[in-house]
């Protein structure tokens, strides 16, 4: 039974059958698809310092965004990279996907590595985003994860998939 439907997600309660055969009522959150991109430029990486209202703080994360209705992940990645960083990529390589929190949601985030960056004239972040583009040395990323400067799960997974850190 549908509990809520919004622009970017819907929530339902559903009776599910466990592998043991027992039935349980569960709440499942169904967001629209999303992407995250690791923009690499030589030995540097473009990340974001972004305010996240759900945790009421700024965090460092990779550019990311929600897929529009009918939009494929690669198109979303190209669009979001420009919107959030002001850079277009000469090449974008898919790096698989992750499930964010499969205990209550079927959300998938498609991961991409972007290279050959060049400034774009189409730059224009969403009006509700508080974003600062930061330039980070690739050699610093692993340490930033270890010391807690990067705590965003999708960004940590993306760095690991792209760089093996």
Any idea what the CATH number is for the domain that residue 149 is in?
3.90.79.10
Closest CA to 105 of 26, 40, 41, 162: 26
What would the pLDDT profile of 107-128 be if each residue is shown by its tens digit? 999 999 999 999 998 766 566 7
- Residue span of the structural domain in which 130 resides: 33-95+111-163
What would the pLDDT profile of 61-116 be if each residue is shown by its tens digit? 999 999 998 999 999 999 999 999 999 999 999 999 999 999 999 999 999 999 99
Asked if residue 74 belongs to a domain, the reply is yes
- Give 46's strand partners: 135
**Model-level pTM greater than 0.85?**
yes
As for how many domains the chain has, the answer is 1
DSSP 8-state code for residue 68: P
Asked if residue 150 belongs to a domain, the reply is yes
Asked if residue 37 belongs to a domain, the reply is yes
Q: How far apart are CA 136 and CA 144, in angstroms?
A: 10
Asked if residue 7 belongs to a domain, the reply is no
The whole-number pLDDT of residue 126 equals 64
Asked if residue 3 belongs to a domain, the reply is no
Q: Which residues are catalytic?
A: 127
Asked if residue 21 belongs to a domain, the reply is no
Q: Are 11 and 29 in contact (CB under 8 A)?
A: yes
Q: How far is Cα of residue 29 from the mean position of the Cα atoms in its chain? A: 17
Asked if residue 41 belongs to a domain, the reply is yes
Asked if residue 67 belongs to a domain, the reply is yes
Q: How many CA atoms lie within 13 A of 124 on its CB side?
A: 2
């Amino acid at each position: 039974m549908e509990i809520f439907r919004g622009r970017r997600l819907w929530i339902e309660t559903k009776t599910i059958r466990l592998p043991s055969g027992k039935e349980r009522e569960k709440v499942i959150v169904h967001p629209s698809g999303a992407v995250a991109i690791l923009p690499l430029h030589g030995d540097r990486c473009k990340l974001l310092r972004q305010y996240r209202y759900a945790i009421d703080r700024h965090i460092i994360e990779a550019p990311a965004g929600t897929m529009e209705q009918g939009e494929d992940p690669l198109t979303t990645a190209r669009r979001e990279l420009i919107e959030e960083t002001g850079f277009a990529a000469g090449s974008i390589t898919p790096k698989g996907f992750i499930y964010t929190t499969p205990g209550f949601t079927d959300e998938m985030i498609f991961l991409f590595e972007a290279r050959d960056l060049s400034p774009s004239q189409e730059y224009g972040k969403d009006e509700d985003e508080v974003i600062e583009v930061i330039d980070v040395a690739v050699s610093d990323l692993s340490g930033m994860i270890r010391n807690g400067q990067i705590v965003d799960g999708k960004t940590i997974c993306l760095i690991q998939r792209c760089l093996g850190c």
